[in-house]
Amino acid sequence: MPDSVLAGGVPSIPEFRPTRKSVFTDRAQRLRDLADGHAMQEYLLFASALARAQAAELEVYPDTPVPDPAQLEHCQQHGLPPLSIDSAQPAGWQQGLLRLLDALNQDALPPEAVRIANELRDEDNTALERDQEHMFAGAYAEIDSGRAPFIGAALQVHWVKMALRLGERGRSAGVDFGLCPVCGSPPVVSVVRSGGAEQGLRYLVCSLCASEWHVVRVKCTSCASTKNISYLFIEGSNDAVKAECCDECKTYRKILYLDKDNHMESIADDLATLALDMLVDQKGFRRVGPNLLLSPG
Ligand SMILES: [Zn+2]
Ligand SMILES: [Zn+2]
């Protein structure tokens, strides 16, 4: 009997999908596929090269300390994410950033990105930590827009590495609504899954560690309202990606329907549908899903 079926035959919902080792490889491939003939081809290829470098970096990333069983138990009891971004300053990601820059295929980068990558090599840790603090505080406008994707990419590797070490144990129940139960970051998009025990279920995808957690559909993933939710998409598109808009808090987050396109990937397909963001912004909704590979501004 699959884990998702209780002894009484009542299906239980798989509440949590841990991050995967292949997350960056899958993302790099999807970005490459999406880039073909796309209006944002250059940017998607840049993001693909960055994700490819992240995959290489993940392979060699040193084992980062993770909470022991007693600390995990404490997090469970208090509804705290075990790998919280609010904990002490993370160590080691700055060296990871340097390796990531080395792993980058510079031929795939626009000249401006090569210049920024070279600048970052000489950057001191204090400046990097300031960028990281702004990112975790949601103050994206405070980070130089050219640097942001590199900083975000390095931090993603650090957190994915830790989340992989914990696996299922990394999830804490009772974390604040709308935040990752592993690291406490906001989600980038939500995904309605297709096939198996998760058929038709909706999961939020962490912008940082790529863990996924279940949230019922037709519920605002920001304020939890179930009233006045609407779905906007671009006329003539295949409506595999929509913007879930909430009239209560006037925010939106994209929702990806895998039954319409099973190859979609959270960060890649978000980047490839920025035209939808423009449409939704014009309707007066504010975006709440940060994409760490996106240059803000
Ligand atoms: Zn997370
Ligand atoms: Zn809302």
Closest CA to 191 of 234, 241, 235, 231: 241
Distance 212 CA to ligand 1 centre (A): 8
Kindly give the distance from the C-alpha atom of residue 73 to the centroid of ligand 2, in angstroms, as a whole number.
32
pLDDT at 2 over 60: no
Q: Which residues contact 105 (CB under 8 A, 6 or more apart)?
A: 49, 52, 53
The pLDDT, as a whole number, for residue 8 is 57
The pLDDT of residue 200 is above 50 = yes
The proportion of the chain whose per-residue pLDDT surpasses 70, expressed as a percent, equals 96
- For CA atoms 189, 219, 81, 196, the dihedral sign is negative
Question: Does the pLDDT of residue 5 top 80, yes or no?
Answer: no
Position 143 confidence tier, pLDDT thresholds 50, 70, 90: very high
For residue 85, give the ligand nearest its CA.
Answer: 1
Q: Which position has the higher pLDDT, 65 or 252?
A: 252
Average pLDDT of the chain is 93
User: Which has the minimum average pLDDT: 67-76, 89-98, 288-297?
Assistant: 288-297
Q: Tell me the average pLDDT across 53-71.
A: 95
Q: What DSSP state is assigned to residue 292?
A: T
Higher confidence at residue 5 or residue 277?
A: 277
Task: Give the pLDDT of residue 296.
Answer: 67
249 alpha carbon – ligand 2 mean position (Å): 4
Please state at what angle helix 111-121 crosses helix 148-166, rounded to 10 degrees: 70
CA of 136 to the centre of ligand 2 (A): 21
- What pLDDT digit, counting tens, does each position of 110-140 carry? 999 999 999 999 999 999 999 999 999 999 9
What whole-number distance in Å separates Cα of residue 275 and Cα of residue 282? 11
Give the domain ranges of the chain. 21-170, 187-287
Minimum-distance ligand to the CA of 177? 2
CATH superfamily of 21-170: FdhE-like domain (3.90.1670.10)
**Distance from Cα 227 to the centre of ligand 1, integer Å:** 27
Which ligand lies nearest to the CA atom of residue 185 in the structure?
1
Q: Indicate which ligand has the atom closest to the C-alpha of 175.
A: 1
Q: What is the pLDDT of residues 207-223, one digit of tens each?
A: 999 999 999 998 999 99
Q: Given the structure tokens 């909470």, which residue do they identify?
A: 67
Ligand 2 centre to CA of 232 (Å) is 15
Q: Enter the pTM of the model.
A: 0.94
Instruction: Count the residues in the chain.
Output: 297
Q: Which two tokens stand for residue 163?
A: 């989340």
The pLDDT of residue 9? 61
pLDDT range class, residue 88, cuts 50, 70, 90: confident
C-alpha of residue 217 to centroid of ligand 2, in Å: 13
Give the pLDDT confidence score for residue 107 in this predicted structure.
85
Q: What is the DSSP letter of 8?
A: T
What was the pLDDT predicted at 108? Answer: 80
Query: How remote is the CA of residue 237 from the centroid of ligand 1, in Å?
Result: 30
Q: Whose atoms come closest to the Cα of 210: which ligand?
A: 1
Quote the ligand 1 centre to 276 CA distance (angstroms).
25
Please list the residues that pair with 206 across neighbouring strands: 187
Tens-digit pLDDT profile for residues 20-48? 999 999 999 999 999 999 999 999 999 99
**Cβ neighbour number for residue 87 with a 10 Å cutoff:** 13
User: Cα of 73 to ligand 1 centre, how many Å?
Assistant: 18
**pLDDT tens sequence across 100-118:** 999 998 888 899 999 999 9
